[in-house]
Amino acid sequence: MEKFVGSFTQQESIPDAGIEAAVAVMRSGRLHRYNTAAGDPGEVALLEQEFAATVGAKYCLAVASGGYAMGAALRAVGVEPGDHVLSNAFTLAPVPGAIASVGAVPIFVDVTSDLTIDLDDLQTKAGQAKVLLLSHMRGHICDMDRLMAICDAAGITVIEDCAHTMGAAWRDTPSGRHGVIGCYSTQTYKHINSGEGGFLVSDDDALMARAILLSGSYMLYDRHLAAPPAEAFADLRYETPNVSGRMDHLRAAILRPQLARLTSQVEKWNVRYRTVQAGLKNTPGLTVIHRPPEETYVGSSIQVLLQDWEDADIRIVLQRCAARGVELKWFGAPEPAAFTSKYDQWRYAEPTPLPQSDAVLHGVIDMRIPLTFSVEDCALIARIIRAEVSIVWQGRAAAE
């Protein structure tokens, strides 16, 4: 019986250029983003400039985390305590957490069997809020043309959570560039890794000026290279609170060489993703998620559905795969575990039941694909999952 012996949480090491740059920052003692030497804009400002160019944005702000980026974006567009904010029913806890952090109330929108936001349900709920915090959950991008048409018609401001779609696109438009603000994460399991960290990007002068002031720039906003002109801050600097969440030079130094190689990393992820995907296709009882041709994705994780399975049978599949070294996560579990939870477990959000989403989420199985896996590893993992799902499916069929 084949067994996988690798680690699902082991990431690649930081590139040597990043390690060397980080050591140089530490030797300088200048870690704070505004502590720079004459003639040196600093690692953070350079990273912001480079990330803005990568996604084709006018402005970029580097911050302490992806969650902070979303909270700052919500404040920047004017969300206030008690306001309603639309968001996906299928996402991770930092998304409703960002909404709750500003005292707002999430209104969850259904998820489809392709694991994207249900645009019909969004259309129905469009009159309930003026802001949509759209999560491209686990890298699945919906029809952004239709989504923006719905939101533009209803006067809804769109903020994109691109924690899982850095390097992805819809019809060649980079993820994060459809809405007024795009938010990204550089947490360890994302596409570039600084442990924690994130970005906001926007083309809007006032929104980015607010975000920079919120992040704790004090009156040092002129030290940014990817920021609006000084006049954008003229009045806002008197009325925008400091909610400090800056990125530091150490993390920026680690990130810059990783950003430079993002395109080649995406290609590596997608080779591995397609290997697992191909190995799982046509497995009895298992549904592989459809990827539309308009979507350019980053296959850093894969999701499948065990539709209409009983809880006990799903648990058996997870246990049998784990015994063979394959770590799968179940988003439909009755209780939250590790990073996985679902909308009806976020009681602080007072969610309304969504039967369609419940049916989909019940069968969502999730697996990371770190680049420490070889293509051969991915083929082996697919064989193990296929075999164990088939065994349990056949046993279930025999019992019926």
| Nearest to 146, CA basis, from 164, 158, 137 | 158
CB 104 within 8 A of CB 83: yes
Residue 90 belongs to a domain: yes
Which of residues 237, 260, 283 is at a domain's end? 260
Position 282 scores a pLDDT of 96
Distances (CA, A) of 97 to 70, 144, 380: 9, 24, 37
Looking at the structure, do residues 357 and 389 belong to the same domain, yes or no? yes
Using CA atoms, how far apart are residues 23 and 15, in angstroms rounded to an integer? 13
Sheet with strand 198-202: strands edge to edge = 59-63, 198-202, 181-185, 157-161, 131-135, 84-88, 105-109
The partner residues of 61 in beta bridges, in order of sequence, read: 200
Position 396 scores a pLDDT of 81
Looking at the structure, do residues 327 and 360 belong to the same domain, yes or no? yes
Residue 24 belongs to a domain: yes
Residue 299 belongs to a domain: yes
Residues 6+ apart with CB under 8 A from 389: 283, 284, 285, 286, 306, 317
Residue 3 belongs to a domain: no
Looking at the structure, do residues 159 and 214 belong to the same domain, yes or no? yes
Query: Along the chain (400 residues), what's the average pLDDT of each consecutive run of 10 residues?
Result: 96 98 98 97 98 98 98 98 98 98 98 98 98 98 98 98 98 98 98 98 98 98 98 98 98 98 98 98 97 98 97 98 98 94 95 97 98 98 98 86
Using CA atoms, how far apart are residues 257 and 22, in angstroms rounded to an integer? 11
Looking at the structure, do residues 143 and 39 belong to the same domain, yes or no? yes
Looking at the structure, do residues 151 and 54 belong to the same domain, yes or no? yes
CATH of the domain at 203: 3.40.640.10
Q: Cα 59 to the chain's mean position, in Å?
A: 20
Position 368 scores a pLDDT of 98
Looking at the structure, do residues 315 and 358 belong to the same domain, yes or no? yes
Position 397 scores a pLDDT of 78
CB 132 within 8 A of CB 158: yes
Which of residues 260, 286, 316 is at a domain's end? 260
Which of residues 232, 260, 288 is at a domain's end? 260
Q: Cα 231 to the chain's mean position, in Å?
A: 33
Position 74 scores a pLDDT of 98
Provide φ and ψ at 123, rounded to 5°. Answer: -60, -40
Mean pLDDT of the chain: 97
Looking at the structure, do residues 48 and 134 belong to the same domain, yes or no? yes
Verdict on whether the full-model pTM lies above 0.95: yes
Host domain of residue 390: 262-399
Looking at the structure, do residues 145 and 159 belong to the same domain, yes or no? yes
Looking at the structure, do residues 303 and 367 belong to the same domain, yes or no? yes
Q: Quick one: angle between helices 375-399 and 311-323, nearest 10?
A: 140
Position 335 scores a pLDDT of 95
Residues 6+ apart with CB under 8 A from 58: 52, 202, 203, 208, 226, 228
Looking at the structure, do residues 42 and 173 belong to the same domain, yes or no? yes
Position 87 scores a pLDDT of 98
Using CA atoms, how far apart are residues 45 and 340, in angstroms rounded to an integer? 34
Q: How many domains does the chain have?
A: 2
Looking at the structure, do residues 130 and 108 belong to the same domain, yes or no? yes
Distances (CA, A) of 225 to 27, 37, 50, 64, 330: 24, 15, 10, 18, 43
